[in-house]
Structure 1
Amino acid sequence: MPEGDTVWRTAQRLNQAFAGAELTRSDLRWPSLATLDFTGATTLQVVSRGKHLLHRLASGDTIHSHLRMEGQWLIADAASARPNAQTRAFLSTARWAGLGQRLGMLDVVRTDDEQALVGHLGPDVLGPDWDPARAAANLAAAGTTIGAALLDQTKLAGVGTLYAAETLFLERLNPWTPTAELTDARVARLVERAHRLLDNGRRHAVQSTTGSTRRGENSWVHGRSGLPCRRCGGGVRVAMIGPPTRERTMFYCPSCQGGLGSTDDGRPQRPLGSTRRR
């Protein structure tokens, strides 16, 4: 799932293409929105809120989208852009077109009512409302494991499985540690680390927490189960974390991060994408 830095960059590109321009075409390919037409409306701005995108119009409406696992917004020349079977939203000005592909969510609300869609979110790690003290307090009071709390968008918005795993690894913290066992100072350092990683990520097209943008070298543990830890040489592992029906994958190094997670059965793990020989 795209994380906060990717969504932030998407909002920046859409804003550059649409802000101040009139829509010459509006095609929302979503059952509940198919009859809406914003042709002629002028875009005020496009902003991100955590992993959510808010396309605000001068008409007083907001087109809200969420990329979920596979969604993306493509920007193309309006003269040649064509929607296809994967297009869920097609917006165009005289110059640029935006194609919302495989979107996970698409809504239209009055701009004054945006809170109905994003009001539940915690402080946005990359937003103007960023408040590290509030984010740290939210995590400390979560009453869950710290890994699950980091992934809970109501505690702080924008951190996904990549940055949760990388933040916890760099802080040498076991993802399954109960938040109640962490000192305020430890949680504050964790929040600062997460912010630093995402703030760096939004400045680059390729996400990297290691300093290298080479494929296969840009993360410490995320996506590296079954491979040697870059720090200690032990095996990186993956296990599920979070409440039932909302579990997420968590990559970690037991040697560097205080042992096996409580949901990890300890069985040998092969690198992702590998297959056994017959």
Structure 2
Amino acid sequence: MPEGDALYRFAGRVHGALAGKVIRAARSHGPGPVPQVERLIGATCLGARSVGKNLVIEFDNGLSLRGHLRMYGTWHVYRPGQRWSRPEREARLVLEVDDAVVVNFSAPVVELLETRALPVYRPLAGLGPDLLAEEFDAAEALARFRDPLRADLTIGDALMDQRVMAGVGNIWKHETLFRCRQYPWARVRDLSDEQLLKLIETARNLLLASVGRPNAFGLQRRPAMYVYMRAGQPCRRCGTRLRSARQGVDIRYTTWCPTCQAPAAGSVSAPPPPEAPHRPG
């Protein structure tokens, strides 16, 4: 699933193609075409932005589009007349301006909303602080981790809860936990505020690095993967064979280093599910 950094890049491309320009054509294809998308024809695009894993495009007629890519969706930008890299039958949404064509392929969620409703629209209003926002609020993210309802969540699950902080998916969950030497099955209640703040800071800096913005790592590109998709391979830090097991309500696999990410002495942590060494992390 595309994560917050991918949506940030998509938003930049869509913004560059549409912002300040009049929509000359707008159409949607099935399954589930976007109702009344033709209402955007003649409107001027005010801009596009990412909100966690969502992309929001606003227009001067009081309407906005929200898209969520889930696992397989993507956004493409083409020149007029340029051949598309995917067939038109896969296009969920097409927006045309004088010098560009923006196409959403295969996103299960694309919807037209009134812009004034965005602040209270549950899929957006319920999100935690956006890790890529200029004014990211780490204290608010920490407070959301400390919600009593999340006390018994494993930290691997809690990091991917978009209501805590928006933008982390399976990739950056893996890399954040590894860089913080954190056992994925530790319970949130067993972690100190200092440990949680370190996880928050690390996740933010990984996403910032991935989109080429200033970060604590001093990187200007997407960081190298230490554990994600490396199940069964040697740890890049200590050489221990990486393990992988199912985790979470989505039953995804989590890969970790048993040495670098060992459970804290004396902590009460749920044991990992049966190991699945042949599945990628």
> TM-score scaled by structure 2?
0.87
Describe the shift of the 1:97–1:20 C-alpha distance in structure 2 as closer, same or farther (beyond 3 A): same
Give the conservation status (yes or no) of the 8 Å contact 1:91–1:98: yes
Q: SS of 1:85's equivalent?
A: helix
Hey, what does 2:240 align to over in structure 1?
A: 234
AA paired with 1:62? S
Q: Work out the CA distance in 1 between the residues paired with 2:279 and 2:236.
A: 14
1:200 correspondence with 2:194: no
Give the conservation status (yes or no) of the 8 Å contact 2:244–2:279: no
Hey, what does 2:139 align to over in structure 1?
A: 133
Could you list the per-position Cα deviations for residues 177-208 of structure 1 after superposition, in whole angstroms to 9, with x for gaps in the alignment?
0010111111111111111110111118xxxx
Q: Displacement of 1:266 after TM fit?
A: 3.6
Hey, what does 2:278 align to over in structure 1?
A: 270
Describe the shift of the 1:271–1:234 C-alpha distance in structure 2 as closer, same or farther (beyond 3 A): farther
Q: Displacement of 1:118 after TM fit?
A: 0.6
Q: SS of 2:37's equivalent?
A: coil
Q: Displacement of 1:240 after TM fit?
A: 2.1
Hey, what does 2:89 align to over in structure 1?
A: 85
Q: Work out the CA distance in 2 between the residues paired with 1:16 and 1:33.
A: 23
Describe the shift of the 1:133–1:140 C-alpha distance in structure 2 as closer, same or farther (beyond 3 A): same
Hey, what does 1:36 align to over in structure 2?
A: 37
Q: Would you identify which runs of 4 or more consecutive aligned residues in structure 1 move more than 6 Å?
A: 211-214
Give the conservation status (yes or no) of the 8 Å contact 2:245–2:275: no
Q: SS of 2:89's equivalent?
A: coil
Describe the shift of the 1:138–1:70 C-alpha distance in structure 2 as closer, same or farther (beyond 3 A): same
Q: SS of 1:148's equivalent?
A: helix
Gaps of 5+ in 1: 274-278
Q: Displacement of 1:218 after TM fit?
A: 2.5
Describe the shift of the 1:257–1:148 C-alpha distance in structure 2 as closer, same or farther (beyond 3 A): same
Q: Displacement of 1:29 after TM fit?
A: 2.0
Which of 110, 113, 117 is the equivalent residue of 1:113?
Answer: 117
1:99 correspondence with 2:106: no
Q: Work out the CA distance in 1 between the residues paired with 2:243 and 2:108.
A: 29
Identity of aligned residues (%): 32
Hey, what does 2:252 align to over in structure 1?
A: 248
1:151 correspondence with 2:155: no
Describe the shift of the 1:272–1:65 C-alpha distance in structure 2 as closer, same or farther (beyond 3 A): same
Give the conservation status (yes or no) of the 8 Å contact 1:135–1:191: yes
Q: Displacement of 1:63 after TM fit?
A: 0.8
Greater mean alpha carbon deviation, residues 228-237 or residues 13-22: 228-237
Give the conservation status (yes or no) of the 8 Å contact 2:212–2:220: no
Hey, what does 1:276 align to over in structure 2?
A: none
Describe the shift of the 1:19–1:50 C-alpha distance in structure 2 as closer, same or farther (beyond 3 A): same
Q: Work out the CA distance in 1 between the residues paired with 2:221 and 2:197.
A: 28
Could you list the per-position Cα deviations for residues 215-269 of structure 1 after superposition, in whole angstroms to 9, with x for gaps in the alignment?
xx920000100111111111112222223xx3333221112111597233246x1
Describe the shift of the 1:212–1:132 C-alpha distance in structure 2 as closer, same or farther (beyond 3 A): closer
Hey, what does 1:6 align to over in structure 2?
A: 6
AA paired with 1:270? H
Q: Displacement of 1:81 after TM fit?
A: 5.2
Q: CA RMSD in A?
A: 2.5
AA paired with 1:148? D
Gaps of 5+ in 2: 264-268
Give the conservation status (yes or no) of the 8 Å contact 1:235–1:253: yes
